[in-house]
Structure 1
Amino acid sequence: MNEHSTVGESVDNQSGSGERRLTVDSINTYYGDSHVLFDVSLSIDDGEIVALVGRNGAGKTTTLRSIMGLTPARSGRILKDGESIHESPPHRIRKRGISWIPEGRRVFGGLTVHENLRLAAHSADTDQQGRIDEIYERFPRLDERRTQKAGTMSGGEQQMLAIARALLGPETDLLLLDEPSEGLAPQIVEDVAAIIRELNEEGVTILLVEQNAEMALGLADRAYVLETGEIVHESPAEELLADRAAMEQYLGVH
């Protein structure tokens, strides 16, 4: 631990002075009888990128699933903009402005790019075609591939499509990203990181789960380390990135 660690403190004392976008307060989550998350607390202020890092099997994806109501926590609180969401079903949580891009991208491979986007836009209460046109302006590669089956695109293109779909539903102000760099070539990882940074600069708050700790910490303002279902470290991201002993201890990065 370094002097910035806040493990064991109330989540209300964590992070900076901005408006609190998300509060996860002492949640415990189970798969059947298996206890997976142990009193996990974290917070994200409006406009932040927060990285949640840890080794495989630490419980990072389960944390995101708990936030989205897909694997509800059995105890603890989850608050969005100060209001409880932990007993809400996933579709209502999505309408509260939280969007989740799961690990593995999960695009509809048999549908074209445009069909994938139309399905996502259908859930929004605004002009569908206008929003799709905005997506094509943001992601020119998708515009070029609009009639191509999504399953035949490269991993990086599929990741762009997954991000685009998340932006097309109800308005998003908090984006949960699960392993966006998984399986991508280094240059494509840089492209995805640039998209994440650009979205954040436009006002989207981001919780980033990544096995690629150096990529995540390079983007993030703050970082939490999850180890066997418990938060064991919290600090500014740049300080964790610079602490090679902590990187090796928690993440196996030499």
Structure 2
Amino acid sequence: MAVMSDPLLSVDGIDTHYGESHILFDLSLSVGEGEIIALVGRNGAGKTTTLRSVMGLTPPTSGTVEIRGEAIDGLDPNQIRKRGISWIPEERRVFGGLTVEENLRLAAHSGDGDQSAGFEEVYDQFPRLDERRDQQAGTMSGGEQQMLAIARALLGPETDLLLLDEPSEGLAPQIVDDVADIVRELNERGVTVLLVEQNAEMALGLADRAYVLETGRIVHESPASELLEDRETMESYLGVK
């Protein structure tokens, strides 16, 4: 587990709206270099909106978002991606009609110039994808598609911070463990992770620190291990007994 260092990502007092609907309220959090941070909460709490706000997909209407002290709120998602932040959305969203290799080649060419120098490294890291280079992504299992989504995010501009949205959704328990191992290995290789997860026990088992979100507000912050042992808070805010 990493020790809290200078923030890589700082979110300070953001409010975010969808049209007339106010979703996030004065939300602040920080992610230190090398940390895994879990953002947990019930469905509809605003977890995905938080990631979308960081990535510039649903820009905050007030407050600031900074990466290494540089304000990025107001930048478009492509500019934010070039600053080392990569987002893996809920439900993976791989190109099902394309092969594994075609999915990865699209990602490798998505930045400034051809980033395929790291292409074989991705296959070394994900041997199962190497075995399925020529298989259509839509025919793979949910766990394999999640691996592909993670691998795809690591191509293109270098990733310093990975925003990972519900990676365990719809996966069998054993595959959830495999995905957790991948996230842990990426972190050990130097990738900082902000993890949104409905599966609180999985997320807290991985994370250094945790934030609990309820109706668009941060209501609890602590070391992840402390929250995991705090059954009263787990039940009250997350419905975990």
TM-score by length of 1: 0.92
Question: Which letter does structure 2 place at the counterpart of 1:95?
Answer: K
- In the TM superposition, 1:216-231 aligns within 5 A as 216-231=203-218
| 1:142–1:24 distance in 2 versus 1, CA, 3 Å | same
2:222 is aligned to: 235
Equivalence map 1:81-230=2 (5 Å): 81-125=68-112, 128-230=115-217
**Compared CA separation, residues 210 and 145, structure 1 to 2 (3 A):** same
Structure 2 letter corresponding to 1:26 = G
C-alpha distance in structure 1 between counterparts of 2:112 and 2:127, whole Å:
24
Q: How many residues align?
A: 240
Cα offset for 1:126? 6.3
Q: What's the offset of the Cα at 1:89?
A: 0.6
Shift of 1:132: 1.2
**CA deviations over 1:179-236 (Å, ceiling 9, x no partner):** 0000000010000000000000111110000000000000000000000000000000
* 1:153–1:17 CA distance, 2 compared to 1 (3 A): closer
Q: CA deviation at 1:16?
A: 6.2
Q: CA deviation at 1:178?
A: 0.1
The structure-2 alpha-carbon separation of the partners of 1:133 and 1:127, relative to structure 1 and needing over 3 Å to count, comes to farther
Q: 1:65 aligns with which of 35, 40, 52?
A: 52
User: Take 1:132 and 1:80, find their aligned partners in 2: how far apart are those partners?
Assistant: 26
Report the counterpart of residue 238 of structure 2 in structure 1. Answer: 251
Which amino acid in structure 2 is aligned with residue 253 of structure 1? V
Q: Which amino acid aligns with 1:47?
A: G
Percent identity of the aligned residues?
Answer: 75
Query: Do the aligned residues in 1 keep the contact of 2:116 with 2:155 (CA within 8 Å)?
Result: no
Amino acid at match of 2:118: R
TM-score after normalising by structure 2:
0.97
Q: Secondary structure at the match of 2:24?
A: strand
Q: Does structure 1 retain, via aligned residues, the 8 Å contact 2:109–2:116?
A: no
Instruction: List per-residue Cα deviations over 1:63-99 (Å, max 9, x = no partner).
Output: 0000000000000000000110001110000000000
Q: Displacement, 1:128?
A: 3.7
Deviations 1:19-61 (A, max 9, x none): 2100000000000011000000000000000000000000000
Once the two structures are superposed, residues 97-121 of structure 1 have per-residue CA deviations (whole angstroms, 9 ceiling, x without a partner) of 0000000000000000000000000
2:12 aligned partner:
25
Detail structure 1 runs of 4+ shifted over 6 Å in the superposition: none
Paired with 1:90 and 1:217, the residues of 2 have a C-alpha distance of 28
The 3 A distance-change label for structure 1 pair 197 and 42 is same
Query: Secondary structure of the equivalent of 2:51?
Result: helix
Q: Hey, what's the Cα distance between the residues in 2 that align with 1:17 and 1:113?
A: 36
Does 1:80 pair with 2:76? no
- Partner Cα distance (1:84, 1:252) in 2: 36
Which deviates the most, 131-140 or 209-218? 131-140
CA positional deviation for 1:17: 4.8
**Are 2:115 and 2:157, in contact at CA under 8 Å, matched by a contact in 1?**
no
Shift of 1:169: 1.5
